[in-house]
Amino acid sequence: MGSFVDEILNDVKAKNPAEPEFHQAVEEVVESLEIVLDRRPELRSYKVLERMIEPERVLMFRVPWVDDSGAVQVNRGFRIEMNSAIGPYKGGLRFHPSVNLGILKFLAFEQVFKNSLTTLPMGGGKGGSDFDPKGKSDNEVMRFCQSFMSELHRHIGPNTDVPAGDIGVGGREIGYLFGQYKRLRNEFTGVLTGKGLDWGGSLIRPEATGYGSVYFAAEMAGTRDDTLEGKICLVSGSGNVAQFTSEKILDLGGKVVTMSDSGGYIYDDEGIDRDKLAFVMDLKNNRRGRISEYVDKYPGAVYTATDRDSDHNPLWAHKADCAFPSATQNEINGKDAANLLAGGVWLVSEGANMPTNLEGVEQFIDAGILYGPGKAANAGGVATSGLEMSQNSMRLNWSREEVDAKLHGIMKSIHSACVETADQFGTPGNYVNGANIAGFLKVADAMIDQGVV
């Protein structure tokens, strides 16, 4: 069987050169699936895995726009429609200068498993652009979004493909994208999620990924008869996921001591309390400032600028109980993972997608800590997007309490599915295997039912 896995990985690398993040995401999943393919040989003859690795469709397009000085700018837009076996393609749009085909394919691939785990009928997709919203005026962001949607609208729809936000795409961008879709198609429909509350959005959608990641962490802690009460928590990022992860940690009695952005991180020994978190939210969401400004306001905290030449991130070297990586992919490498373990961390819940590299994941699993991979731990965001789609279809709005209760229930069931599946396949406590196998089997069975398409 080892050679079958090697064959698949060699093939993926040959066919998709220069896409290291995609290779990494496939490798992590394929390693978990060896045991499933052993037990269910028909999955091999149907070439289910080979089909899942190949996107159903990849769209790549030019996004020209005019900046405030009148100069023409050109960006590249993408949408990866990865798998629609269990529902319309669903997954976020990322606007960040690092965006390329390989990163979006890794995200789309992960999304297929994650969406399957949510128990909701959603296929997997992802998209975005190398456009950088940082430092752009609202008008520039609007013109970019309008140009992006002028092409994307042909390919999406409430029953086909329903994008959402991700890095660099929040409420402002979803608004401009939705406005242009509506104008071009002359229809008001739930084609995007993460919409404003007055025009089809769901309560709790902004909070969902962060809240969900902490609900998942609480479930993991519960397997060891523990809670987050009084626990010291390292959080990275200061965007949507990091903010609401921190808020829910506070709700459950934990103490958050770090937050970051791409420029550096702050360490606040006294803890980031509700007032300080409100400052961060205003800084990031309204004033669009840098996390370094935190120490101007709270001089007791320490700011450390990012050192691009360093082989590790010092944020992960502080003593703590729990870690919530919530910024971006590969932000925890092997050395960071070793530092986390040495600092006493016994629980990691990934708000970001694939924030830990393969070496780091191996260390967490070998150490036997509670390690919740992103495709399970951060699935609350897309799950609540699924709830937004249901509300749009029924043309009604659920209350905050109703949506939060459904989110909480979904996170509990994802946690149980991971635990039970890991047990069934002989790797108890291994949430990576649990998530990959449970997510895979539902999509694989649907693909077999639907024939070779």
Burial class (CB in 10 A: 0-12, 13-18, 19+), 390: middle
133 lies in the binding site for ligand NDP (CB under 6 A): no
Q: In the bound complex, what is the minimum distance in angstroms from residue 15's beta carbon to ligand NDP?
A: 24
> Of 382, 379, 345, 340, nearest to 357 (Cα)?
340
In angstroms, rounded to a whole number, what is the distance separating the alpha carbons of residues 378 and 381?
6
- The runs of H, that is alpha helices, within 316-368 are 334-342, 358-367
429 lies in the binding site for ligand NDP (CB under 6 A): no
The pairing of beta strand 232-235 with beta strand 161-164: unpaired
Sheet holding 322-324, edge to edge: 302-305, 264-267, 255-261, 232-235, 322-324, 347-349, 370-372
Q: Specify the 3-state DSSP secondary structure of 294.
A: helix
Q: In the bound complex, what is the minimum distance in angstroms from residue 24's beta carbon to ligand NDP?
A: 14
Name which position in 32, 115, 193, 238 contacts ligand NDP (CB under 6 A): 238
Q: Which is nearer to ligand NDP, 84 or 328 (CB)?
A: 328
Name which position in 175, 351, 360, 429 contacts ligand NDP (CB under 6 A): 351
209 lies in the binding site for ligand NDP (CB under 6 A): yes
* C-alpha to C-alpha distances, 308 to 299, 315, 326, nearest whole angstrom: 25, 14, 19
In angstroms, rounded to a whole number, what is the distance separating the alpha carbons of residues 374 and 353?
5
239 lies in the binding site for ligand NDP (CB under 6 A): yes
Name which position in 123, 128, 237, 373 contacts ligand NDP (CB under 6 A): 237
Angle between helices 20-39 and 358-367 (to 10 degrees): 50
Q: Which is nearer to ligand NDP, 86 or 259 (CB)?
A: 259
* Part in contact with ligand NDP (CB under 6 A); list of ranges 81-89, 172-180, 325-333, 364-372: 325-333
Pattern 68-97, ligand NDP, x by CB under 6 A: ----------------------------x-
356 lies in the binding site for ligand NDP (CB under 6 A): no
Q: In the bound complex, what is the minimum distance in angstroms from residue 344's beta carbon to ligand NDP?
A: 24
In angstroms, rounded to a whole number, what is the distance separating the alpha carbons of residues 451 and 240?
40
75: region left, alpha or beta (phi > 0 left; psi from -120 to 50 alpha): beta
* Part in contact with ligand NDP (CB under 6 A); list of ranges 26-34, 146-154, 240-248, 271-279: 240-248
* Part in contact with ligand NDP (CB under 6 A); list of ranges 264-272, 349-357, 386-394, 402-410: 349-357
- The runs of H, that is alpha helices, within 40-137 are 42-45, 48-53, 101-117
Q: In the bound complex, what is the minimum distance in angstroms from residue 395's beta carbon to ligand NDP?
A: 24
Q: For residues 142-154, b (16+ Cβ closer than 10 Å) or e, as one string?
A: bbbbbbbbbebbe
Length of the chain: 453
127 lies in the binding site for ligand NDP (CB under 6 A): no
In angstroms, rounded to a whole number, what is the distance separating the alpha carbons of residues 415 and 372?
9
Name which position in 353, 363, 392, 436 contacts ligand NDP (CB under 6 A): 353
* Part in contact with ligand NDP (CB under 6 A); list of ranges 58-66, 167-175, 274-282, 356-364: 167-175
Q: Specify the 3-state DSSP secondary structure of 183.
A: helix
Q: In the bound complex, what is the minimum distance in angstroms from residue 186's beta carbon to ligand NDP?
A: 29
Name the residue number minimizing CB distance to ligand NDP. 239
Q: In the bound complex, what is the minimum distance in angstroms from residue 96's beta carbon to ligand NDP?
A: 6
> Of 53, 120, 107, 57, nearest to 447 (Cα)?
53
Q: Specify the 3-state DSSP secondary structure of 160.
A: coil
240 lies in the binding site for ligand NDP (CB under 6 A): yes
Cβ–Cβ under 8 Å, residues 82 and 155: no
- Residue 335 falls in the annotated catalytic set: no
Q: What angle do CA 356, 317, 415 make, to 5 degrees?
A: 40
Catalytic residue among 90, 126, 136, 231: 126
Name which position in 24, 326, 356, 357 contacts ligand NDP (CB under 6 A): 326
Q: In the bound complex, what is the minimum distance in angstroms from residue 117's beta carbon to ligand NDP?
A: 12
In angstroms, rounded to a whole number, what is the distance separating the alpha carbons of residues 353 and 378?
8
Pattern 255-284, ligand NDP, x by CB under 6 A: ------xxx---------------------
Q: In the bound complex, what is the minimum distance in angstroms from residue 120's beta carbon to ligand NDP?
A: 14
Q: For residues 195-216, b (16+ Cβ closer than 10 Å) or e, as one string?
A: beeeebbbbbbbbbbbbbbbbb
Name which position in 48, 117, 167, 277 contacts ligand NDP (CB under 6 A): 167
Which residues are part of the catalytic machinery?
126
Q: Which residues bind ligand NDP (CB under 6 A)?
A: 96, 98, 165-168, 170, 209, 237-242, 261-263, 326-328, 351-353, 378, 381
